[in-house]
Structure 1
């Protein structure tokens, strides 16, 4: 997932709003920036609703639907796969490594009698398969959007993903291999959506509006996660509504409906929009010097690949996404197999951490803005503080998960804190692309997130290997400790060596770009 900044809108998911701030290092320049931001805009559009507002609304709605498509399998797979009653039988023998069954727990009713005999390794491969395609399509998707337009990349990506989602039950029934191939294809068509949306936002919104509307668009993933998990849990547990199949039919159909509206109402550039008002068009054209140009700028690949700071950002991305994807893909399985929550509870409780993350991200955005505008902290200090909070505090929560044992309430509290406290990363390494090279911030985000997205493959595969025929507290402690250790190591290296200075190769003239 990619999180945006005020001057660039980077890649796609973990689903949250823009906290990046483009601030001058000189305190006097900072004060001047603040004064300019508070001054009224010349030629400001007074329309209550214009073409750019429709773009922002449909963008946010599209990312909401996208994440319902992405996340629904994490919950549905609990109902799709058969779970053996081994843990249930062991739970009565007083073993300290297996949680006892709650009062009124009937193994015949609560153990999932799914249609597919998938062990934890196979489930890990299925959950991770999406990220094979997702990881490799970030860079090509971002560059393609600059050539053929973000509208087509976003619209076509979500349209195809919706069709694939409708085909999910059929492919799962035919073979596991076909199901995995379908998920890979789904990731492939969705991977370029976030970079493509960056192009649209940078084209349609002046800098003074970019934070506001980027925030609106990027709240979509969190909203989608909050919707997908409880709704999928409810549908999966209801045979009258079709069981787990109905979740894919519902979310896939919503994606088709969204695609119709997107292709009808959204256009790549204001000049090409047939229904934009003259007032809005003149307002946007008055900012053409500070908005994205139609010209495609060559990338200084040699400088990017040899920059130690780019690789530090890549390392931070790996640490962040390993922890994030471990929780987002495996949380429903942990709640069902270890804490013995039923399907309805699993879906609702799995969504709770992301609701907390959405609220905390709003608070952090307000706090960072105050710290930056007042000049209390430098850019580098803000970045490092955000990184420390987003990595060290969640790692403590994950270590705490090793001691909750069978206390389901305490486990949920720690998981909510782990996910919520990770949101300051949007003001940390996710802004570093803009700090290092604002002219190439979107492309850099696509590059580093390619490596980060691979953790979507590693996390479920690693968890599946550790918990294979071993759904015990000890096995899950190992999962949590690996994620916590990765957070600490990557953050410490990043903070010790990272800079917030603009790199020389950011200058187009020096890179030979025309």
Structure 2
């Protein structure tokens, strides 16, 4: 017996003479219409999938805290007096006046490392060299061996190498870079592994808001990590900045214990799930395909909708990592905020993005449930919101110059709309191929996160010792242009239609 989605799949396959013809038709078909299951959900609380969501949220919060703490800590790690500072009197339009010291102003602290902007770019980007290497293997391992083990070990390894980071930095620069690369390799499996789990656990009508809840842990971790790291860096105990690595690394190890005992790979394998909830999930998603067939690599590489996801993710990540890794430096060197104020203000846009992302995803699922938008239109609409408005915000920041208050407001307001990405391209992989969602997310996320080391490198080359408004305007213009251009490609070529090579294999295995 087939459920409604399988019947629609068979009918759709019969209308296609070949895979090429299927790829060329419109990006809407019967499969993009989400049909509520006839089985009712459980009334018990908490639902088992919600426990997965909470622990997934906390896991992402922790790995992002471990990822971004260096962006703040590096301000305290650097000996700024080791390099000549530009004269602030040379051009009033290129330099912001320093703040007038008050009794409450904390003097800036010079660190122990003589790293210029290019070296700092290597340090900030080294994490992502490892991060991109394990994206595709992480997704595939999650599909083969289960997302629980892959995701859990990824967070655990990230925590261990975070704890080792201060020791490595004080021992040898090369060793520090190696540790950061290994930390990135540990975290690299987390997103594709979670994507594979969501494909097996979450009904289609819940995916946008559930993804917002789980992946919003990245914003929550950033909001917590930036100001807390700033405060820890201002302390004298143990040198200040190492504390941010020790704290979040230990929390990652503790989190792993709860994950191991409370989470399972699929609803069918969970020993304590309510049977009504299990039946509801299976009726919504369809058969849990356990067959371990070969990956259709060529079909993936020639799938234009997948390329659309990849390109828009690259554009969004370029803008995201430009701000994530470089905004604390901009706040310090251009707007002259002290380390604690710098960290708090840098975190504001992630706080607003978290709130807006959850609200936007709930609204997106409501629109889908009412039938006001198709799945494809919904993806493109919210992805455009997540790309265009933050990019306009970057252009405004470049124009505002030294207006510190306005810059804070613009970043907080425009950054909020970046949260719409959870209702945009983030769930699109599951629509294209539920079976290979983890691998596909690994492909796009690996490509997109090359921006994690390319953006700091390019910013370092643009700034190159010239901490001026003119140079930073170039940084903001570049990020905004890449983000908006990539979104146009997604709008033109994105799709929510399950691809024929995925659909045929899934249905044949279901038979």
TM-score, normalised via structure 2 length: 0.86
Rounded to whole Å, the distance in 1 between the matches of 2:73 and 2:302 is 43
Within the alignment, does 1:388 sit opposite 2:389 as a pair?
no
State the Cα deviation string for residues 316-372 of structure 1 (Å, max 9, x = none): 121111111111111111111110000110111111000010121133224323433
Rounded to whole Å, the distance in 1 between the matches of 2:107 and 2:184 is 32
1:450 CA displacement: 1.3
Q: CA contact under 8 A between 1:401 and 1:411: conserved in structure 2? A: yes
Within the alignment, does 1:344 sit opposite 2:349 as a pair?
no
Within the alignment, does 1:131 sit opposite 2:128 as a pair?
yes
For structure 1, the residue ranges without an aligned partner over 5 or more in a row are 1-23
* Alignment equivalent of 2:71, drawn from 70, 74, 78: 74
Q: CA contact under 8 A between 2:268 and 2:278: conserved in structure 1? A: no
* Alignment equivalent of 1:144, drawn from 141, 162, 180: 141
Single out whichever of 149-158 and 470-479 deviates more from structure 2.
149-158
1:58 CA displacement: 2.1
Q: Which residue of 1 is the match for residue 119 of structure 2? A: 122
Q: Which residue of 2 is the match for residue 314 of structure 1? A: 310
Q: CA contact under 8 A between 2:47 and 2:277: conserved in structure 1? A: no
Rounded to whole Å, the distance in 2 between the matches of 1:474 and 1:238 is 34
Distance 1:412 1:96, change over 3 A: same
Rounded to whole Å, the distance in 1 between the matches of 2:505 and 2:287 is 19
State the Cα deviation string for residues 220-268 of structure 1 (Å, max 9, x = none): 1111111000000000011146400111111111111112222233333
Q: CA contact under 8 A between 1:235 and 1:242: conserved in structure 2? A: no
Q: Which residue of 1 is the match for residue 61 of structure 2? A: 64
Distance 1:82 1:109, change over 3 A: farther
State the Cα deviation string for residues 452-504 of structure 1 (Å, max 9, x = none): 01111101111111112111111100100111111222222332344444433
Give SS of 2:400's match. coil
Q: CA contact under 8 A between 1:79 and 1:112: conserved in structure 2? A: yes
* Matched length: 481
Distance 1:126 1:92, change over 3 A: same
Distance 1:214 1:77, change over 3 A: same
Q: Which residue of 1 is the match for residue 424 of structure 2? A: 428
* Alignment equivalent of 2:156, drawn from 155, 159, 169: 159
For structure 2, the residue ranges without an aligned partner over 5 or more in a row are 1-26
Alignment of 1:355-394 (within 5 A): 355-394=351-390
Rounded to whole Å, the distance in 1 between the matches of 2:355 and 2:232 is 26
Single out whichever of 66-75 and 438-447 deviates more from structure 2.
438-447
Single out whichever of 442-451 and 502-511 deviates more from structure 2.
502-511
TM-score, normalised via structure 1 length: 0.85
Distance 1:439 1:273, change over 3 A: closer
Q: CA contact under 8 A between 2:68 and 2:226: conserved in structure 1? A: yes
Give SS of 2:66's match. helix
Q: Which residue of 2 is the match for residue 482 of structure 1? A: 478
Give SS of 2:181's match. helix
Distance 1:474 1:256, change over 3 A: same
Rounded to whole Å, the distance in 1 between the matches of 2:206 and 2:400 is 45
